RNA sequence: GGCCCCGUAGCUCAGUGGAUAGAGCAACAGCCUUCUAAGCUGUGGGUCGAACGUUCGAGUCGUUCCGGGGUCACCA
């Protein structure tokens, strides 16, 4: 039986204030007539009602309103509020300790605390979307972590979520790797080269570009213009021919294509498995690139699309401040947007989606806007449920990552480096010397990936971020390991004290709470709202910030108050409950970020 | 040039229109015989890019400008 709380503190306070206002002043108010904030630490109280906006309609001073409202709340909700004070237009309310104990009592063991009841909505989150001509890099990591985390956050908000990826497995870029392999590999395979498949294929892509540049230089040296050279370079001509052969389905080309893509998928799978990315469905462009042509005919009939003299088909988006956009070439072949429209439609039809989310970099904002507008003009019912979750590019201190210039931070290398750093720190501290080799390796992975995921998810997705490859990602402060450490510390308490007595006694009879105790319970109570906010904004950084603040507050509590040597047995029980619940929320929050927790570190 | 995003401490970032703008890193000073010091406590550090405007109240909303980035492909 999963237990979902009906009302958070803030909505309870909001309701009680609304109720009190109407009883006091015989007027109707809405939640826009006042605000509820957390009380600033320098004032006495937990939550603050900001009253200024009420002054006009009530024609009373804010102090008077505060006094009247405060008295009324204390009188009518005495079990909930214990005291109040008014400073200028701020009504500071203090929540009764017994109310806090009650919340703790009811939820400290609830594994689903903060999660929402089913909405019945089905949402697809498409992310990752790699090309098969090169390995994954830092930018893909941000995409993968973001997509995975948003999917989990949407699940926590009660939605059914389908994680999907579309693999760009066809096109000129793969042919480049294939041509270079034919020219230089002498039949080598990832096995014979002892290399991960995606890196192996990626190396031939780089090889292609080197060769291409060499040919261009030779041609320009012999007097050709740069433009001519680019067209005439033999290796490029071969590549273009190969793409044509691929589209015709020439068996030898298709066989090589399958084999090389297979190598890449083996490499990708290894990386995905290690970083914890998974997909419920994978689309392949080789299967979808012909989609979307049927709507062209339909659009032409409805006069939404028009044909130019050369036979190419266009849509006019000038009324939406966008230009004309080509949707079908003169020779009848489709362009990128064509298949995107087809795939969008297929997704909604095959999966009966309520919403389709695309996790794609902000460089494609325009493209996604066009896609949405075209589906709208074509009258497709799902047009408004296409959502582009755009995120900022990851750049290096030295500028953008460019695969051709070798300035790409490789995903596998970075993971290795993070895990190695975790190993170094762990060995220096020497707290887990009794671990087996396997246990140690698992710990390093948990910590290294935790540091990396937290680092990439703690900032607002839509902001571009700058990564300095010279400075390793930190393990102190606002980091994954800091939160993981707090969790491990709590496990240490539980090992020492044991939780047996909690199971027996249900009643928490502590009447007075210390500031840190009540602050922790109040912060824990907010987790539910945090999950909602993160879901509404599709923003994992809200979770990351929350989980950090919770860990930080717990660490203060930890140094200030002892659990095992608590002043009384009742205090001990209370603090055990706080510790158990904090650990649970930390674990749950980190899980939404794709980060695991260790029992010791 | 049109459209979109960003500009907060030395660095990386928080900050639903509300009180004296906050963290982490870096710097400095303390705290391990007691549940894990990957921690805790404290100090210093800011004309919130600039100027007007709306408001009882602006880092937050509006306008203009300055600086940075993206995009405006018959590439994906």
Closest nucleotide relative to residue A482's CA, C1' based: B38
Q: Say whether A361 sits in a helix, a strand or coil.
A: strand
pLDDT at A322: 85
A32 or A66, higher pLDDT: A66
Cα–Cα distance between A592 and A12 in angstroms, integer? 26
Nearest-angstrom CA–CA distance, A317 and A339: 18
* Structure confidence at residue A521 (pLDDT): 96
Closest to A151 measured CA to CA, from A379, A359, A412: A359
For tokens 């068996």, name the residue.
A251
Q: CB–CB of A87/A43 below 8 Å?
A: yes
For residues A88 and A93, give the distance between their C-alpha atoms in angstroms, rounded to a whole number: 14
- Among A153, A156, A151, CA closest to A118: A156
Which nt is closest to the CA of A166, judged by C1'? Answer: B76
Q: pLDDT class for A243, splitting at 50, 70, 90? A: very high
Q: What band does A207 get if pLDDT is binned at 50, 70 and 90?
A: very high
Nucleotide nearest to A370 (CA to C1'): B72
Tell me which protein residue sits closest to nucleotide B17, measuring alpha carbon to C1': A35
DSSP states along A311-339: S-EEEE-GGGT--EEEEE-TTS-B-HHHH
> If you average pLDDT over residues A317-331, what whole number do you get?
88
User: Nearest nucleotide (C1') to the CA of residue A329?
Assistant: B74
Report how far residue A490's alpha carbon sits from residue A123's, in angstroms, rounded to the nearest whole number. Answer: 36
Q: Is A359 helix (H, G, I), strand (E, B) or coil?
A: strand
Mean pLDDT of chain A: 92
A67 CA to B44 C1' distance (Å): 41
DSSP-based three-state secondary structure for A559: helix
Report the alpha-carbon distance of residue A135 to residue A410 in Å, rounded. 7
Q: Which helix (H) or strand (E) holds A166?
A: strand A160-167
How large is the average pLDDT for residues A496-524? 81
Q: Which nucleotide is nearest to A542 (CA to C1')?
A: B14
Count, residues in chain A: 601
- How close are the terminal C-alpha atoms of chain A, in Å? 33
Residue A299 has pLDDT above 50, yes or no: yes
d(CA A262, CA A256): 10
CA distances for A131 relative to A135, A252, A347, angstroms: 8, 22, 20
Q: In terms of C-beta distances under 8 Å and separation of at least 24 residues, what long-range contacts does A538-541 make, across chains too?
A: A538/A150, A538/A153, A538/A154, A538/A357, A538/A389, A538/A461, A539/A460, A539/A461, A540/A145, A540/A146, A540/A149, A540/A150, A540/A153, A540/A457, A540/A461, A540/A592, A540/A593, A541/A457, A541/A458, A541/A459, A541/A460, A541/A461
Burial degree of A270 (CB within 10 A; 0-12, 13-18, 19+): middle
Percent of chain A at pLDDT > 90 equals 79
Handedness of CA A193, A194, A197, A199 (dihedral sign): negative
A513-531 pLDDT, tens digit each: 999 999 999 999 999 999 9
Q: Residue A200 pLDDT > 50, yes or no?
A: yes
Packing angle of the helix pair A569-592, A138-156 (nearest 10 deg): 120
Element (H, E) at A446: helix A437-457
Give the distance, in angstroms, between residue A430 CA and nucleotide B7 C1': 44
**CA-to-CA distance for A219 and A354, rounded, in angstroms?**
55
Distance A549 CA to B1 C1' (A): 46
Q: What is the DSSP letter of A43?
A: S
Higher pLDDT, residue A138 or A466? A138
Q: What is the pLDDT of residue A371?
A: 95
- DSSP labels, A266-306: HHHHHHHHHHT---SEEEEHHHHTTTTHHHHHHHHHTTSEE
Torsion angle of C-alpha atoms A93, A96, A97, A103, degrees rounded to 10: -100
Model confidence band, residue A225 (pLDDT cutoffs 50, 70, 90): confident
CB atoms < 10 A from the CB of A27, how many?
11
Q: Is the pLDDT of residue A6 over 70?
A: no
The whole-angstrom separation of Cα A234 and Cα A230 is 9
Cα A505 to Cα A87: distance, rounded to the nearest angstrom:
42
pLDDT of residue A231: 85
By CB atoms closer than 10 A (0-12, 13-18, 19+), residue A122 is middle
Helix (H, G, I), strand (E, B) or coil at A429: helix
Would you state the pLDDT for residue A25? Answer: 92
What CA–CA distance (Å, rounded) separates A308 from A303?
13
pLDDT of A38-88, one tens digit each? 999 889 999 999 999 999 889 899 999 999 999 999 999 988 999 999 998
pLDDT band at A1 (very low <50, low <70, confident <90, very high): very low
A8: nearest Cα among A119, A82, A116, A92: A116
**CA atom of A405 to C1′ atom of B6, Å:** 27
The helix (run of H) or strand (run of E) holding residue A141 is: helix A138-156
Which nucleotide is closest, CA of A421 to its C1'?
A: B38
pLDDT tens string A112-158? 999 999 999 999 999 998 999 999 999 999 999 999 999 999 999 99
Separation of CA A53 and C1' B53 in angstroms? 21
Please give the pLDDT value at position A399: 76
pLDDT confidence of residue A510: 66
Distance A515 CA to B33 C1' (A): 28
Is the pLDDT score of A335 beyond 80?
A: yes
Q: What is the model's pLDDT at position A75?
A: 94
pLDDT score at A504: 58
Q: Assess contact for A356 and A382: CB atoms under 8 A.
A: yes
Q: Which nucleotides of B are covered by protein (CB under 7 A)?
A: 2-6, 12-20, 23-26, 34-41, 56-57, 69-76
pLDDT tens digits, A360-417? 999 999 999 999 999 999 999 999 999 999 999 998 877 788 776 777 899 999 999 9
């Amino acid at each position: 039986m999963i237990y979902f709380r009906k009302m958070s503190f803030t909505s309870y306070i909001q309701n009680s204030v609304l109720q009190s206002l109407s009883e006091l002043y015989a007027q109707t108010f809405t939640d826009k007539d006042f605000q509820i904030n957390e009380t600033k630490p320098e004032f006495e109280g937990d939550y603050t009602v900001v009253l200024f906006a009420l002054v006009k309609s009530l024609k009373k001073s804010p102090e008077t309103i505060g006094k009247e409202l405060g008295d009324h709340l204390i009188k009518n909700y005495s079990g909930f509020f214990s005291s109040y004070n008014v400073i200028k237009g701020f009504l500071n309310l203090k929540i009764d300790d017994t109310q806090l104990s009650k919340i703790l009592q009811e939820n400290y063991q609830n594994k689903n605390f903060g999660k929402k009841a089913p909405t019945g909505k089905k949402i697809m989150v498409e992310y990752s979307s790699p090309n098969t001509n090169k390995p994954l890099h830092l930018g893909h990591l941000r995409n993968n972590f973001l997509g995975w985390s948003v999917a989990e956050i949407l699940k926590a908000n009660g939605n059914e979520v389908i994680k999907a990826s579309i693999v760009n497995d066809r096109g000129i870029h793969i042919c480049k790797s294939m041509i270079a392999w034919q020219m230089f590999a002498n039949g080598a395979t990832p096995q014979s080269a002892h290399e991960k498949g995606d890196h192996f294929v990626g190396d031939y892509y780089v090889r292609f570009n080197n060769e291409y540049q060499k040919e261009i230089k030779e041609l320009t040296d012999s007097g050709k213009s740069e433009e001519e050279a680019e067209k005439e370079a033999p290796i490029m001509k071969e590549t273009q021919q190969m793409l044509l052969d691929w589209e015709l389905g020439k068996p030898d080309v298709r066989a090589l294509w399958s084999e090389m893509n297979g190598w890449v998928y083996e490499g990708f799978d290894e990386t995905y498995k290690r970083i914890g990315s998974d997909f419920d469905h994978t689309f392949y462009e080789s299967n979808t690139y012909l989609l979307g042509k049927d709507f062209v005919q339909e659009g032409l009939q409805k006069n939404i699309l028009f044909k130019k003299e050369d036979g190419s088909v266009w849509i006019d988006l000038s009324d939406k401040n966008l230009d004309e956009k080509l949707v079908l070439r003169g020779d009848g072949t489709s362009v990128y947007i064509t298949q995107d429209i087809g795939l969008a439609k297929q997704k909604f039809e095959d999966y009966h989606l309520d919403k389709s989310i695309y996790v794609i970099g902000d460089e494609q904002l325009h493209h996604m806007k066009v896609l949405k507008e075209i589906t709208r003009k074509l009258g497709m019912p799902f047009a408004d449920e296409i959502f582009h979750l755009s995120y900022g590019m990851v750049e290096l201190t030295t500028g953008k990552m460019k695969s051709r210039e070798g300035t790409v931070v490789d995903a596998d290398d970075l993971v290795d480096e993070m895990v190695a750093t975790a190993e170094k720190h762990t060995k220096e501290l020497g707290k887990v010397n009794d671990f087996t080799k396997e246990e140690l390796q698992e710990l390093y992975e948990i910590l290294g990936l935790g540091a990396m995921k937290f680092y990439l998810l703690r900032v607002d997705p839509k902001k571009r971020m700058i990564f300095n490859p010279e400075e390793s990602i930190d393990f102190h402060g606002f980091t994954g390991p800091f939160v993981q450490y707090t969790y491990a510390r709590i496990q240490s308490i539980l090992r020492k004290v044991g939780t047996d007595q909690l199971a027996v006694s249900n009643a928490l009879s502590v009447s007075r709470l210390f500031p840190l105790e009540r602050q922790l319970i109040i912060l824990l109570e907010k987790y539910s709202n945090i999950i909602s906010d993160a879901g509404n904004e599709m923003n994992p950084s809200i979770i990351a910030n929350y989980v950090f603040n919770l860990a930080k507050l717990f660490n203060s509590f930890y140094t200030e108050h002892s659990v095992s040597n608590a002043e009384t047995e009742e205090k001990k029980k209370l603090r055990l409950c706080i510790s158990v619940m904090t650990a649970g929320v930390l674990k749950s929050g980190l899980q939404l970020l794709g980060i695991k927790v260790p029992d010791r570190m």
